[in-house]
Every structure is written in structure tokens, then in C-alpha cells.
Amino acid sequence: MNFTGNQTRARRNSSRLIILFVLGVVAMTVTMTVMMMPLVLVTGAIGLSNFKASHITSGVQGGILLMGWLTGGMLLLPMLTLLRSLLEVWRLSAGGKVLAERIAARRVAPNVADPLERRLFNVIEEMSIASGVTMPSVWVMDTETAINAFVAGHDAADSVIVVTRGALDSLNRDELQAIIGHEFSHLLNGDCKLNIRMIAALAGIDILGKVPGLLIWPLTEVEGSLWQKLWFFLSWYVLVPIGWIFLLAGLLLWPIGAVGRFFARLIKASVSRQREFLADASSVQFTRNPTALAGALTQIEASGQGTLIRHRYAAALSHLFFGQAVKVWWQWLFATHPTFKERISLSCPGFDSQAYLRQRKTNTLGHRAESHP
């Protein structure tokens, strides 16, 4: 496999996509502002009609009022996007620890007694040496049975590597090492800093996708059964008359939010997919074992556990993970990761998945027989 060529091509594609990402954020703000213009014009026209035509100054006053509405409408969305992004930048200033805690991971101590977690620590130490990157703190998502992992942080000093319990339980040492090597590539190539910036930037755009839903159904965060949520929903419009105003505002803003969410997911998926190829190529370099990465991808597909994360923040962090963390419509467009077939064919051409699984099963049975004579 031509590792150098793959890395050069992936970096070139990633650079292009980063530029497209920046342009896309600007274009989204302009697009959403333009979509809001008809509403602003109608509102301004209503305000203008309140002036008596007989007044000499009515035209000037109406024009000023209309321009004020137009200017306010054009500035509102960019300001809202910017403020939400800056808030997320502030929240993430502490580094990867914030994201690990946000997704309910538990930090693993260096002297951990659990053999699987001890093995994880050893593998991470090995990949730290192989990549020349400072070892990040180690975290485990105890409640996630899926096979997945991610690394996050501004730099090596505040970075974390998070692994699901399913990955510890389902992968052998070589497969786990390949996944950890993949994550160290993100640290080495500066992907983590880009990913955190992307979280902040997309938070600004995505808030416009959440606002309509909150206006239409303000009690979306209420816990309880479906009937309880339905009761809260009906009560909002029966007991709170202003709820109908929120409903109308939500319906009017929904198209804007939908466009914002569409482009946010599109940009995130495009940037993330290209960088996964680079990380796979680097993982093979670190481990010197292309079969291990292809085997890990094959085992994930065969295990039935998959890579889907159940936590509520999985969607916001989906581009950080080793594998596709959430279900998406139109995977060819919105998937944050390439298919396993694509990744296997590039990392280990000619790899025989069925033969690997048969050999793996034989080795596993043999190991169990030795452990229990």
C-alpha cells in the first residue's frame, strides 16, 4: 500500500474541504438571511402603512422604519450564530475532558485493576511511543456496548481518548491497537483542534435548527411517557394562549432551521470522511499491521454490536468517533464516515474478511481451551 501517497492525497482533499467548510458557514448565514427577507419586507410594509399619506415626512419615516427592519433581520441571524458559537468555544476551552464528561465517560486510573482496561492502557502507551505524541488521559464509556472510540482536545496536554466498553469486550489486542492508532493519527495531524472548532461552529448553525422545535414544542426536554409528553404539549396551547404565537413563529422559522441543519450536516460529513482515510493510513503506519485495522472493521460488522452510540450528545460529537455514531438518512451524503468496505479496501487490499473471521474464531477457541483445561 502506498501510505505516503494516501496521506498526501487525504491531506490535499482535507485542505480543500476545510476551505469549503469556512465558505459554507458564510454561505449558510447569507442564505438564511435571504430566506428571512420576505417576512421582514411584509412586516416593514405593515409598519409603513401606519403612517398617513398626507404627512410629508411619512415616506421618509416609513423608509427608515423599513430599512431598520431589513438591517435588523440581516444582522440577527449572523449575530445569533456567532454568539452561540462563542458560547460553545468558551465551554470547550478546558479541552477534551469537557467532551468526555459530556458523553458520560469515566476516567481510567493508570493503576487500574480491570484486565481489559489495563490492556487498553498498555496499548495507548505503545501507540503514544509509536506516534511520538504525548499520551492523553484514558476514559471509558461504561454503558455503551457499541464498538467505538474517539479522541478530543486542543493539544496533547488537554487531550482525552475515550473508548466504549463494547470495544474492550469485543476486540482482541491487535484490533484494539489498530483503532487506538487511528485515534492517535487525529492527534498527530491536528484533527482534534479542527474537530473542536467544528463543534463550536456547527453549534451556531444548528441552533437555528433547534429553535423552531423549541418554539413549536417548548417542553421537548420533559421526561416521562408518551402520554405525559402529549399532555404537556396540549396544555401548552390550551392553558398558555401565547403558545399559539410561538407555534406560528416556529412554523415560519422551520424552513430556515431546516436549511441550516442540512448544510451543517453536509459540511461536517464531508470534512470528517476525508480525514478518516488519513487516520486509517496513519494507523497502519503506527502498528505496521494492515490486517489488524481491516480485522477490527470486519469484527465490528460481524459482532452485531455496531458503532451506534445511544447517548443524547452522540449526534453533536459524531464526527469525532472511529465509526458512524448515529443513524442518518442518505448515508452517501450525510454519513460522517466512509463505509467499512471502502476503508478495508484502502487499508488492506485483498483482505479476505471471511477467512479472517474463521481464523479469529479458531484462535479464540484455542485460547479459551488453554485458559480452562
Q: Give the active site residue among 88, 144, 175, 183.
A: 183
- Which pLDDT score is estimated for 208? 66
Residues 6+ apart with CB under 8 A from 152: 95, 96, 99, 100, 159, 160, 162, 192, 195, 196, 317, 320
Share of the chain above pLDDT 90, in %: 35
Mean pLDDT of successive 10-residue stretches along the chain, which has 373 residues: 54 58 63 61 56 49 56 66 83 90 94 94 95 94 96 88 96 96 90 82 73 60 58 63 66 70 76 83 92 95 90 88 88 84 92 92 60 45
Query: In this structure, are strands 137-141 and 160-164 parallel, antiparallel, or unpaired?
Result: parallel
Report yes or no: 277 and 338 within 8 Å, Cβ to Cβ.
Answer: yes
- Which pLDDT score is estimated for 265? 78
Cα separations (Å) of 130 from 25, 79, 158, 178, 283?
37, 45, 20, 12, 10
- Indicate the Cα dihedral angle 29, 31, 33, 39, nearest 10°: -150
- Which pLDDT score is estimated for 41? 58
Determine the Cα–Cα distance for residues 286 and 184; give it in Å rounded to an integer. 9
User: Strand ranges (DSSP E) for the chain?
Assistant: 106-107, 137-141, 149-152, 160-164
SS3 at position 97: helix
- Which pLDDT score is estimated for 1? 47
- Which pLDDT score is estimated for 124? 96
Distance of CA 12 to the CA centre of its chain: 22
* 183 part of the active site: yes
Pull the grid cell for residue 195. 474537530
pLDDT per residue as tens digits for the range 169-180: 999 999 999 999
Determine the Cα–Cα distance for residues 39 and 373; give it in Å rounded to an integer. 77
- Which pLDDT score is estimated for 245? 66
